[in-house]
A and B are shown apart, each in its own frame.
Chain A
């Protein structure tokens, strides 16, 4: 390992600009003639739009245009799409209602746009938006899953009778039935996975700039995947063909999934920029973010697990209802199916699994992937089941898990996933040691003598990352392949530019990816520039989500590097009059092994570009491209253990300790990995204790600001003790698995398991607010 190569905790290159306020976000961009958009949004969860009168608004100062949903339909702008086709049990395709970018006829959630005002200043646009008079006829709203599936419930979309998008299943129903028939014990639970608002620090923003002469659009937007945005905008929305649309996602301040999707506002900005002939900007405020950024989770499930007399799991049956909100967002359909039910085997040998998932429409903000996307829901369900089972079977929860661990690899689960490698026992051991699990009983007794309720909770998670093998996801209904591309450019003086289709919005790619180059060439990371987020610079890419950037994007970089090195070695061998096979690369030099003959990288690069003396037939230049399609998912896994105390008087939880033992394969920059785990844990703990996006019975959001939506703050969180156990991923040359989502996937079950242990009551839902915990204690006492 070089000082800045693989395994070095070098400081993040990008942080200098971020912490000195020099980051350049979409909202910072100023274009000549820029005007501002503000949307008129529905105050109703469900209503008919009977008419829109914009005559007063048009007269207001600075107003350039007021555009409505009907105009967007008239201009034949396409409806928003969902990119993953799911087939129901009965073989029918999923049933989707139309989603125009602004509602021409019906609004189906509070905050849905019906019109847009474009004015010289944002404030003028806001003033005029208030003067747009919309005549609504209110309809009865369906605010949640239970209401949506009731017989006779109001219908959201005529295409989806009963508000059901699909009724899907996976696994072997008969085998599971057989397993339960011979079970010695059965454990059952009803579980809710609470709805979350993503809340990245930077709200969404878009600037659309139409060039009349070239008939060309540029869209600056807060995207995790600008190429996917361009693809969808051109292929489906009929706004501009790909070669006439450039999408730039500059510095982006967090995404957590919510910036994967193409939203109505970006489409409208593009469409409007041509209509008004000036660059149009829209930036969300926090309230709009709460109302329109797609939410995460929101499942209700019933789970049953069958055990034999030796406490070996025989089978698992799960029935889940997933809330999709009012419309099907870009990847939404895949989240509660292929990203959820395929992980229901967890770390365990479960011979038979059967899961049914019903996706339903409700009059709420659309729901899609949010950090972990489906995998946190699976992990939470399974790990609460395991802990509850241990209590019911009166065995130690770590023993029950260990007894059922998968120990030989590769392992084919009954739900598609084939785990390539892992050592679940090693992570469990490491976490138990870190928290002194053996000493817990003593600590609990001591706490009890002091009048305190202490609990411990375990969570052994596994996730499928490195998303994803294109052929596999294609066969499951995905509309795109999930490979990644990279280009390595060695400039004539030897500096290096890496163009990647991955997109960094907090992950630290500018550092981690540079370290990959440093490792191979022995050059400092300052000599390497990572370029991403611009469809005019990077040829193509699928973006960043699903902990894929290093395992898939990083591997593409390595593949391109291999080509560059091969060519560079040829040039070096030619210059040094040596054989190509004898050239080795060390500290930025190409050396003839075993001699003192060498040529430095800049000289090789210069030779490639001057082309005065290249081997016969060689093309000038030193630049290579690679596309990498993974052969499997990667499977990060680990154990989290949480120890905490509950104040019986108030129901408030305080952490005593939280340990994480993760297996992410090889770590490139351990410090960045730690940061990713800290952030993930904060979100997992946030879900467990604080966060909840709630609607009232009329579909009005009651948590649309930070006054009501509890975001975790630093002092809500413990100081984490992290450690790593390592099995190298055999599926990619770096041996990496991904670390971006693990914390959010594994943490919530550990926390709830600890609280339910402390209060000795398994009936507790997330978020375990003091109010809820107090009731759970109190309900039991009564």
Chain B
């Protein structure tokens, strides 16, 4: 690891101010992406600003039609939250599949979304449910947030403060884990909003990061059932093709995982 200076912020405003003072600052939440990358000397922030202990960034709230997860809430807290389990069980289930217990007790939803790993789980839920990402500056719709591999709409120094999920009428998630990393080789989140719109997002599969699968969406819009997908053809264009999954295999898994997400 290169030398760096650690700062612990006690409020979002303080963190944002601290950020501007460093020559190359980085926020730190659970550290389960940033620290390994720093240890491999692939990142060399001058300053790291720890968001992990900011009280206003931790917690889960439910209002009538939305569940709001604050940015520094850990995967474990989401997985075990009664609120989430009741309102959006698929989201609690998804969180329970992330990494291992150590990762789930440290890693946070804000960190996961800011990082936007193309094989991370949360982006599928956020995109499929049409969630809103709240930052210290604005609100960003899921459809506008993810901008490809490890890229998001966040501006320099912008802090995710919370994610607001509209409670769906129906939702499910199915993940086929990568044999080595256990991130998603293919993960599919299916959701039907209360207004009846079907949204389906896939993670792990595409070279453009998380994305919606329109072929699946339109089939499910007509008939919300696994059988409705039997004859849907998924193109393997632009899908990852690597040691653990060829693009045709991943295309096939999108369909299979979508069917299992419906069943789950």
Contact = CB atoms under 8 A, between A and B. Distances in A.
Tell whether A pairs with B. yes
Interface of A: 123, 126-127, 130, 287, 649-652, 689-690, 692, 694, 702-703, 706-711, 769-771, 774-775
B83 to A, nearest CB: 29
A708 B253 contact: no
B222 interface: no
Contacts of A287: 40
Nearest to B249: A771
A708 B180 contact: yes
A770 B179 contact: yes
Contact of B243 (A126, A706, A708, A775): A708
Given A123-B1, A287-B40, A775-B246, A709 B253 contact: no
Contacts of A690: 179-180
A774 B179 CA distance: 14
Chain B contact-residue range equals 10 to 19
Given A650-B253, A694-B243, A769-B244, A126 B41 contact: yes
A442 B246 CA distance: 35
B204 to A, nearest CB: 13
Interface in B223-238: none
Is the contact region of chain B dominated by helix, strand, or loop, or is it mixed? loop
B179 A710 contact: yes
Contacts of B244: 708, 710, 769, 771
B23 interface: no
B246 A709 contact: no
B2 interface: yes
Contact of A774 (B40, B180, B249): B249
B86 interface: no
A708 B181 contact: yes
B181 A692 contact: no
B89 interface: no
Contacts of B41: 126, 130
Contacts of A130: 41
Interface in B172-194: 176, 179-181
B187 to A, nearest CB: 13
A649 B256 contact: yes
Q: What 3 A-B pairs are tightest by C-beta distance, nearest first?
A: A710-B180, A710-B179, A707-B181
Contacts of B253: 650
Nearest to A712: B179
B252 interface: yes
B246 A771 contact: yes
Max chain B Cβ within 10 angstroms of own Cβ: one of A126, A690, A707, A771: A771
Given A708-B181, A770-B179, A702 B243 contact: yes
B245 interface: yes
Contact of A706 (B2, B180, B246): B180
Given A126-B41, A771-B244, A706 B1 contact: no
B180 A707 contact: yes
12 contacts: A126-B41, A650-B253, A650-B256, A652-B176, A690-B180, A692-B243, A707-B181, A708-B180, A710-B244, A769-B244, A770-B179, A771-B246
B243 to A, nearest CB: 6
A694 B244 CA distance: 11
B249 A709 contact: no
Contacts of A127: 2
Nearest to B245: A771
Contact of A650 (B1, B176, B181, B243): B176
A127 B256 CA distance: 48
Interface in B197-213: none
Interface in B250-264: 252-253, 256
Contacts of A123: 1, 3
Contacts of B252: 774
Nearest to A692: B243
Contact of B249 (A126, A689, A775): A775
